[in-house]
């Protein structure tokens, strides 16, 4: 097992100290001045790779900041840690696991060895099996128990086994086979299940039970309800084979549930849940967009992987994105990052990134187990534009908090409709401009505003944003965007010296819920060993349920 070795605290690292001092100078500088001093700034502070263009000029940074951030990446060993990840070393030290989502999209012929075994051929074996199955469902060759064609595909999973599939399905709906209906059930709240199946015919419905462990309470409860629901119509147990497939690493539990392991699509312990949308967990995506579309998605991921691994840090999109977040989190007291995709298909992208970023970097101890003396992962949140502009953008523009924003837009719309797309994109550019440059009291006065109203109408500006542009939303573009953020999260985690790949923080609540469930269902009055608040809440629920 790889154990932690004591490393130098981040705050002792020379580039960190230099950044801290340097931040004091930058803090007083307005983006208006930075742009005025350098007319080429908007062209210079950009980077492009694999068709993804990043304009980071509207950040509160100077050339010196960027130089120091890159030095910091060097001094914390970003390159070495990246190689450790890509070569299958067990960098998830608290779970003693390799972290190899990059292997899921490695082309045939590449080789990545874990515990003496090349995993790439295994990856492709599963992909081929998925492709065969997806084709059969899409073409109607796969029939339900009564001989009817499958029309509905229902993914049952939660967390990493849900958010990626939902996000990808929504993002790539344009490319999906429209005579198939897709539903996603995650919540243990029976409403989620009831609403998802209420208009479906069991004879035409296929359930994909997606769970790495196949022991997750919510998923197994929903899967059991699905089996009951399906068998009510289909009658006989043998129908399970035609209406249930499993996506899991746990063949024993899959068999126990009654799913033939022939109908199981596997993956491996080196794929973290939140990094699994491009593994077999993406089966719903593959059924929706077809195997070729899925391979394009993987190729997009891979292109960004290669870029991250090889491009110089000054031009490296994920590294830049990650380092800029570190800059604001540490030195500008920024507590959040807003993800603002200007594309309706990306409506679940912020929710997806929320898990990716916050489960990965919401950690308070270093790899050595020391409590950090700095901030780690910020809160990620967001909604698609332009909707957000009519709700929460007020606070970003005129509130008291600094909220770095990522705007994401596309040159071409997948649904060209009159002037809609130009209007959409005009808003991307306008919002980023307004945030950066604001509106001074003089400008407000010059518009004839009454003196008393002037302060209310002033926009301070100096609010940072990135603008990420691509040609259009395709499976490949989506893969690139997700990989961009995956590696940005990795970059942050390396700087903060934390384990970005474990998630112990979700354990305590799970354990307590199991104990409390017994207490809620007990027929005799249970002996409650809790604090006075929890105890009286349980009693109240028991007496009124
Ligand atoms: C992700 C987390 C978590 C996980 C779910 C579902 O990185 O580990 O969100 O994906 O708890 O787990 P199973 O796939 O094992 O059901």
Which residues have a catalytic role annotated? 359, 390, 510
Q: 3-state DSSP call for residue 244? A: strand
State how far the Cα of 317 lies from the Cα of 533, in Å rounded to an integer.
48
Average of per-residue pLDDT across 263-274: 97
State how far the Cα of 197 lies from the Cα of 199, in Å rounded to an integer.
6
Token pair belonging to 427 = 């808003």
Question: Does the Cβ of 159 fall within 6 Å of ligand 1?
Answer: yes
Question: Does the Cβ of 219 fall within 6 Å of ligand 1?
Answer: yes
User: What is the rounded average pLDDT for all residues in the chain?
Assistant: 97
Question: Is 0.95 topped by the overall pTM?
Answer: yes
Q: How confident is the model at residue 282 (pLDDT cuts 50, 70, 90)?
A: very high
Question: Does the Cβ of 274 fall within 6 Å of ligand 1?
Answer: yes
Report CA(165)–ligand 1 centroid distance (Å): 13
Return the pLDDT at 7: 79
Alpha helices per DSSP H over 172-314: 190-197, 217-234, 240-243, 251-257, 283-310
Return the pLDDT at 356: 98
Average of per-residue pLDDT across 490-518: 95
Average of per-residue pLDDT across 42-63: 98
Return the pLDDT at 510: 87
Report CA(455)–ligand 1 centroid distance (Å): 48
Q: Indicate if the pLDDT at residue 6 is higher than 80.
A: no
13-43 pLDDT, tens per residue?
999 999 999 999 999 999 999 999 999 999 9
Report CA(219)–ligand 1 centroid distance (Å): 10
403-462 pLDDT, tens per residue?
999 999 999 999 999 999 999 999 999 999 999 999 999 999 999 999 999 999 999 999
Return the pLDDT at 5: 56
Among the ranges given (330-339, 462-471, 507-516), the one the predictor scored with the smallest mean pLDDT: 507-516
Q: How confident is the model at residue 514 (pLDDT cuts 50, 70, 90)?
A: very high
Site to probe by mutation for ligand 1, drawn from 99, 156, 160, 499 as the one with most ligand atoms within 8 Å of Cβ, is 160
**Ligand 1: which residue has its CA nearest to atom 1?**
273
Report CA(159)–ligand 1 centroid distance (Å): 5
State how far the Cα of 163 lies from the Cα of 273, in Å rounded to an integer.
10
**Among residues 121, 122, 148, which one has the least CA distance to residue 137?**
148
58-106 pLDDT, tens per residue?
999 999 999 999 999 999 999 999 999 999 999 999 999 999 999 999 9
Q: Indicate if the pLDDT at residue 512 is higher than 70.
A: yes
345-386 pLDDT, tens per residue?
999 999 999 999 999 999 999 999 999 999 999 999 999 999
State how far the Cα of 327 lies from the Cα of 509, in Å rounded to an integer.
32
Q: Indicate if the pLDDT at residue 4 is higher than 90.
A: no
The phi and psi torsions of 55 (rounded to 5 degrees) equal -100, 110
Question: Does the Cβ of 359 fall within 6 Å of ligand 1?
Answer: yes
Question: Could you tell me which residues are beta bridge partners of residue 92?
Answer: 97
Cβ-based neighbours of 64, under 8 Å, separated by 6 or more:
22
Question: Does the Cβ of 211 fall within 6 Å of ligand 1?
Answer: yes
Q: Indicate if the pLDDT at residue 294 is higher than 60.
A: yes
The DSSP code sequence of 412-447 is S-SS--TTHHHHHHHHHHHHHHHHHH-B-HHHHHHT
Return the pLDDT at 169: 98
Question: Does the Cβ of 290 fall within 6 Å of ligand 1?
Answer: no
Report CA(160)–ligand 1 centroid distance (Å): 5
- Count the residues in the chain: 545
**Among residues 481, 436, 398, which one has the least CA distance to residue 41?**
436
Q: 3-state DSSP call for residue 361? A: helix
Report CA(171)–ligand 1 centroid distance (Å): 21
Question: Does the Cβ of 277 fall within 6 Å of ligand 1?
Answer: no
Average of per-residue pLDDT across 494-513: 94
What beta strand segments (E) does 343-403 contain? 379-381
Under 8 Å between Cβ of 505 and 496: no
**Among residues 452, 463, 199, which one has the least CA distance to residue 340?**
463
Q: Indicate if the pLDDT at residue 1 is higher than 50.
A: no
Q: 3-state DSSP call for residue 16? A: helix
Shortest-distance atom of ligand 1 to CA 213: 15
Average of per-residue pLDDT across 308-317: 98
State how far the Cα of 159 lies from the Cα of 277, in Å rounded to an integer.
11
Shortest-distance atom of ligand 1 to CA 248: 14
**Ligand 1: which residue has its CA nearest to atom 16?**
211
Question: Does the Cβ of 503 fall within 6 Å of ligand 1?
Answer: yes
Shortest-distance atom of ligand 1 to CA 359: 7
């Amino acid at each position: 097992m790889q154990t932690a070795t004591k490393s130098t605290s981040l705050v002792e690292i020379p580039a960190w100290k230099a950044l801290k001092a340097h931040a004091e100078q930058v803090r007083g500088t307005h983006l208006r001045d930075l742009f005025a001093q350098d007319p080429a700034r908007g062209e210079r502070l950009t980077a492009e790779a694999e068709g993804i263009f990043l304009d980071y000029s509207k950040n509160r940074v100077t050339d010196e900041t960027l130089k120091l951030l890159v030095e910091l990446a060097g001094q914390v060993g970003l390159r070495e840690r990246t190689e450790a990840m890509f070569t299958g070393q067990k960098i998830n030290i608290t779970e003693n696991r390799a972290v190899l989502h990059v292997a899921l999209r490695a082309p045939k012929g590449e080789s990545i060895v874990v515990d003496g075994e090349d995993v790439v051929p295994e990856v492709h074996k599963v992909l081929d099996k998925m492709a065969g199955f997806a084709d059969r469902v899409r073409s109607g060759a796969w029939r339900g128990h009564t001989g009817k064609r499958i029309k509905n595909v229902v993914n049952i999973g939660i967390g990493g086994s849900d958010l990626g599939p939902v996000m990808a399905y929504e993002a790539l709906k344009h490319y999906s086979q429209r005579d198939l209906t897709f539903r996603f059930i995650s919540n243990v709240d029976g409403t989620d299940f009831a609403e998802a199946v209420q208009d479906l015919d069991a004879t035409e419905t296929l359930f994909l039970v997606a769970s790495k462990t196949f022991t997750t309470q919510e998923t197994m409860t929903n899967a059991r309800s699905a089996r009951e629901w399906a068998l009510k119509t289909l009658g006989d147990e043998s129908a399970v084979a035609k209406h249930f497939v499993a996506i899991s690493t746990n063949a024993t539990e899959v068999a126990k549930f009654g799913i033939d392991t022939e109908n199981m699509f596997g993956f491996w312990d080196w794929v973290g849940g939140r990094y699994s949308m491009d593994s077999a967990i993406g089966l719903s995506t593959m059924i929706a967009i077809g195997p070729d579309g899925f391979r394009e998605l993987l190729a997009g991921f891979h292109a960004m992987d290669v870029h991250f691994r090889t491009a110089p840090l000054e031009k490296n999109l994920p590294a830049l994105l990650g380092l800029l977040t570190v800059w604001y989190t540490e030195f500008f007291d920024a507590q959040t990052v807003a993800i603002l995709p200007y594309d309706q298909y990306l409506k679940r992208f912020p929710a997806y990134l929320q898990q990716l970023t916050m489960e990965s970097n919401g950690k308070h101890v270093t790899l050595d187990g020391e409590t950090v003396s700095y901030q780690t992962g910020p809160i990620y949140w967001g909604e698609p534009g332009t909707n957000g502009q009519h709700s929460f953008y007020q606070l970003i523009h005129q509130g008291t908090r600094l909220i770095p924003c990522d705007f994401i837009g596309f040159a071409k719309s997948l649904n060209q409709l009159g002037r809609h797309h130009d209007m959409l994109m005009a808003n991307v550019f306008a919002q980023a401009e307004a945030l950066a440059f604001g509106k001074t009291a003089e400008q407000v006065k010059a518009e004839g505003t009454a003196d008393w109203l002037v302060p209310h109408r002033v926009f301070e500006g100096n609010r940072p944003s990135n603008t990420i542009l691509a040609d259009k939303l395709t499976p490949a573009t989506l893969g690139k965007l997700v990989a961009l953020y995956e590696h940005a999260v990795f970059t942050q985690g390396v700087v903060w010296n934390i384990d970005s790949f474990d998630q112990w923080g979700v354990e305590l609540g799970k354990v307590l819920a199991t104990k409390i469930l017994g207490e809620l269902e007990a027929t005799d009055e249970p002996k409650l060993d809790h604090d006075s608040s929890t105890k009286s809440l349980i009693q109240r629920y028991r007496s009124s349920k």
